[in-house]
Amino acid sequence: MVSDEGNPRRSFDIKLYKAQMRVNDAAAQLRLAARALRIPDHLLERELRRLGPCPLGHLSSGIDRHGRPFLSIYAETLAVRDGE
């Protein structure tokens, strides 16, 4: 847990690289977390469609320095070169 003196920030980060999961593998838990944080469903669903098949890196969540809840999903995306 991280917090900063003088502002409401309280957050955490969970590294999941070694778990060798895809974002879709954690979709149900991410939906629960987003609801608990009152993050609109459509925002999470957009990211799940975009990142779902990607390897899951880490998750960060909590309250930012402005007092707003957040959920960050870090995933490994693939770059595609022309002709591949």
Please tell me the number of Cα atoms within 13 Å of 50 on its side-chain side: 11
pLDDT in tens, 24-62: 999 999 999 999 999 999 999 999 999 999 999 999 999
Q: How many CB atoms lie under 10 A from the CB of residue 61?
A: 20
Domain count of the fold of the chain: 1
> Are 75 and 32 in contact, with CB atoms under 8 Å apart?
no
Find the domain containing 21 and state its range.
2-75
The predicted model scores a pTM of: 0.80
d(CA 64, CA 56): 22
pLDDT in tens, 3-13: 667 778 889 99
Is there a domain that residue 83 lies in? no
* DSSP-based three-state secondary structure for 4: coil
d(CA 9, CA 2): 8
Is there a domain that residue 81 lies in? no
